Amino acid sequence: MDTKNMNTKAKKHYAVITGASSGIGKEFAKKLSEEGYRLVLVARRRERLEELASSLKTECKIITADLGRLEECEKLCKELEGLSVGIFINNAGFGDCSYFLEGDEAKEMEMIDVNVKAVHFLTKRILQKMTAQGGGYLLNVASSAGLMPAGPYMATYYATKSYVASLTRAIAQELKEKKNPVYIGALCPGPVDTEFNQVANASFALPGISPKDCVDYALKEMKKKKVIIVPSLAIKGAAAGAKIFPTDLVVKLASYQQKKKRQDL
Give catalytic residues, as residue numbers: 157
Angle between helices 211-223 and 23-34 in degrees, nearest 10: 60
Do 141 and 90 meet the contact criterion of CB atoms below 8 Å apart? yes
Task: Name the nearest CA neighbour of 225 among 167, 177, 184.
Answer: 184
113: three-class secondary structure by DSSP: helix
Task: Name the nearest CA neighbour of 21 among 53, 59, 56.
Answer: 53
Radius of gyration (Cα) for the chain, nearest Å?
18
235: three-class secondary structure by DSSP: helix
Burial of 92-108, coded b for 16+ CB within 10 Å and e otherwise, reads bbbbbbbeeeebeeebb
Measured CA to CA, the distance from residue 241 to residue 248 in angstroms comes to 12
DSSP 245: S
Angle between helices 155-177 and 119-133 in degrees, nearest 10: 20
Do 150 and 256 meet the contact criterion of CB atoms below 8 Å apart? no
Angle between helices 105-112 and 155-177 in degrees, nearest 10: 10
